[in-house]
Structure 1
Amino acid sequence: MSNYAPAPVGPTAATTGHSILQVGPVNPDVQAALATEFGALRLPEAPEQHEAFLDEYAAGIRVAVCSGRFGVGTELMGRLPELRAVVNFGVGYDTTDMAQARERGIQVSNTPDVLTDCVADTALALYLDVLRRISAADRYVRRGDWTAKGNYPLAVRASGKRVGILGLGRIGRAIAHRLEAFGCEIHYHNRRPVDGVPYGYRSSAGELAAAVDVLIVAAAGGPGSAGLVDARVLENLGPEGYLVNIARGTVIDEDALVAALAQGRLGGAGLDVFAHEPQVPAALLELENVVLLPHLGSGTVETRQDMARLTLENLRSFLRDGALATPV
C-alpha cells in the first residue's frame, strides 16, 4: 500500500495518470487540470519523502510538469529513467538540467511569446520608477516629508537616454520597441549580432555597460549566463548609471551589485528578480534608489491564463502525438 496517493483521478487518468508528475507548485489552473483531467502524481513537498515516492513511481513517469522556479534538476531527472518530456510553465527553464535532457533526448517546452508584453511592460515600469524615483517619492509623501521637508529632490530624465539591453530575444526586442517611443538610443549585447535590428551591437556586457546610461538585463538564465553582470560591468556602468533586471537573479553577481549600490558606485537599480528568491539582501531594503519587486514580471491575470493554456496545450500535444507545441 502506497503512502503517496495520486491526485483525484479524472476521466483520462487510466491511460495518463501515473505517467505524469507535477514538480513543485504550479499555476492553479494547471494544477486543477493535472488533478481532474489527468489524475497526475505530485512530488511530495518534503524532501525526506522523495526517495520513497520515487522508488514507487519513478519507473513509470514519462512527463514532468513544473514551473520556472521548480524545474527538473539533475538529481530528479536522473531518477526518472523513462522521462520523455518536461513541460514548463514559464519562459525560463534554467532550473531544469538541459544538458542531461539533450543527452537523453528528453523534450523540454516553455511558454514563449504569451508573456513577452507583460515582462517588457514591467521592465519599462522599473526603468521609469528608478530614474524618476516614483516609488521613493510616494514614500516621501506617505511619511509626511513633503509637509515637513518641502519639495522632493530632483530625479533623472527618462527620455532620450542611452539604454543597453543585455539579451535581445523576444522580450529584449519588446523592451527596445517601447524605449524607442521615449527617444532612447538603443544598444545591445547577445552571443551574436541579431539580423535586421537598427540597434548598435556591443561585443561584451562590459563594453555595453560602458556605452550606456541604463543597462536592462533580459538575458536567459542558466549556467551560461551566471554572473554575466559582474563587478567590472557595474564599474563600467558607473555612479550615474542605472541597472534594471527582469531576467534571472543569477545573471548578476548579487554581492557585487549590493556593494556598488551601498557604496554609491551605481546610481540605482530596479530589480524584479534575485539570486536566492524569495530572499532579498537586507542591504537593498534600506536604499531609496532601489526599486524591489517580488518576481512579478508576467504577473497579470491575462498573461497567466495564456501561460496556463499553453502549458496544457504542450502536455496534451505530447500525450497525443509525442511532440511538444512550443519546444525549447
Structure 2
Amino acid sequence: MKDILLIVNITFLSLAAIVNTLESNRHHSSSSFTNYGCADTIPAVVLRENGLTKLADLLLTADGLVETLSGPGPFTLFAPTDEAFASMNLYNFDTEDVNLLKDILAYHAVPLEITSAFLSAIQQVYQLPTVQGSAPVRINVYRENGRATSTLFDPVKTVTVNGALVLRKLKACNGYVYVIDKVLNPADLMPENDELEILKQYGLTTVKKILDVLVGPKTLFAPTDAAFAALPPGFLDELLADKKKLLTFINTHVVSGYHYSRGLETGPILAFGAVVDVQVSHGKITYGGANLLIPDITNVQGVIHVIDACVLPADSE
C-alpha cells in the first residue's frame, strides 16, 4: 500500500512537470469537447473559461476522461486555476504514467450534481465519492457566527475541497464546475495516509514520538523539531516523565474537527487542553503565538498544520 501511495505522490509531481512543459493550446476545437451529450458539457465549459487553460490541455491527454465528463452525468468538476498548476513544485521524471495522470484528474470529478444549495446545507464537513473511485474528496463549510458573508454560498462564509478554496461556480448542461485555487491529490485521503505517516514524511519526529493518537476527526498543530529544541532545558524530559502534563501539552495542540486555514478566524479556539488564541491577518496565521509554516496537510484523520513553536499550557509557562 505504501508503494502505491509513493507512486501516486510521484505521479502527482509528474503532473507538475507535464504542466511545466505542455504548451497551452488555446485553439482546441470546441467539437473535441461536445461530440458527446449536450453542447455545454463540463469539458466545453472548462475549455472556454478564462484561467482554466492548463486543465483544458490536461483533460485532452487523459484518455477517455473527456468522453466521460461529456456524457449525461450528472457530474461536478473541481477545476484548478492555471495559477494553481503553476504553483506546484516541479520535479523531473524519466517516465510519465498516463493512466495515473488520468487517475489524478478523475479525482477532481464527482459523479453527482453538487449544487450551491447542497453545499450551503452541509454542516461543517461532508465526503463525496469521485470518478477516480479509490479516495473521496472532503468538503468543508465554514460560517462566520451564523451571518451571511458569501453571495456564492449564502449564508456560508467559505467552502473548501481538501483545503482548496472554492472561488466561483460555473453551470454546465450536465452538471457544475467549481473553480478552486489548488490541485487536489488523491493520495491525501487514501486509507494509508494517516497522521503518523504524515508526521514521518515531514520529519516531525519529536511530535510523532509523543503524540497520543486521539480518536475522531481532528486538527493537529504540529511543532517542528526545531520548536522542541527551543524549549527550556529539561522541559521535554519533564513532560515525558509526567503523563498527565504530557497529555495536557499534546492536547493544547489538538482541536476537534477539520480546521483548514481558510476556515480559521481571529479569536479563541477550543483545543482539547486549553483555549488557544488564533490570529489571522494579511495571509499570516498564528496559533497561540506560533506561526503556521506549512498549512493544510490533509490526511484520513483530519488536518495537520506545521507550526514554528510549541504552545505551552498556562500552568507550564
**Given the two structures, how large is their TM-score scaled by the length of structure 2?**
0.30
> For the pair shown, which has the larger CA radius of gyration, 1 or 2?
1
Q: Which has the higher helix share?
A: 1
Q: Which has the higher strand share?
A: 2
**Given the two structures, how large is their TM-score scaled by the length of structure 1?**
0.29
